[in-house]
Homo-oligomer: A and B are copies of this chain.
Amino acid sequence: MDQEVVEHIVLLVIVTLLSVVQNAFFAHKVEEESKSKIVQRAVPSAFERVFNANQNCKDAYPTFLALLWCAGLLCSQAPAAFAGLMYLYVRQKYFVGYMGERSQSIPGYMLGKRLICFLFLMSVAGVLNYYLVFFLGSDFQMYIKTVSNTISPLLLIP
């Protein structure tokens, strides 16, 4: 792989690696919990809460990865990687909150939704920019990059 091409994906790769570490942490938690406790269906035990939290995070994982890469490749790398990092933080908070009380997980879930939306809009902007360049010949990529760079810190507001 050329150095120039890697330059476009290296931040995304770092975020991917972090998410992999987080997956391993979640799976370890489930494994740990399943060794000490017996599963009970009637009352949601500690194991079932962790298992469910892990399942929920796993379910959203391929979607998140695909969005992250699309946003990063087509639009702008730095804001996409930033939103990805935020998502991983939110997922962490969600998972820990799920283990304690169910009510704590809801704000994290909402924030995760917002970050996914941000990545989605970035991808859409990238696609639109491509077609504007294709049909009209003007390049809005610089504007989109500036806008997404400006908006991305707003994601920190709870």
A residues apposed to B, CB below 8 Å: 1, 3, 6-20, 22-23, 26-27, 29-30, 33-34, 36-42, 44-48, 50-51, 53-54, 57-59, 61-70, 72-74, 77-78, 80-81, 84-85, 88, 91-92, 95, 99, 120, 123-124, 126-127, 130-131, 133
Contacts and interface: CB of A to CB of B under 8 A. Distances in A.
Contact of A45 (B10, B40, B67, B131): B40
Nearest to A20: B63
A7 B53 CA distance: 34
A20 B65 CA distance: 11
Contact of A37 (B37, B47, B66): B47
Residue from the set A16, A29, A92, A127 with the largest chain B CB neighbour count within 10 Å:
A16
A91 to B, nearest CB: 7
Contact of A12 (B44, B45, B68): B68
B17 A70 contact: yes
Given A11-B77, A41-B42, A19 B70 contact: no
24 contacts: A6-B73, A7-B130, A11-B77, A11-B78, A12-B69, A14-B127, A15-B88, A17-B70, A17-B120, A19-B61, A19-B66, A20-B67, A22-B91, A23-B61, A26-B53, A33-B46, A33-B51, A34-B47, A37-B45, A40-B45, A61-B62, A61-B63, A62-B62, A62-B65
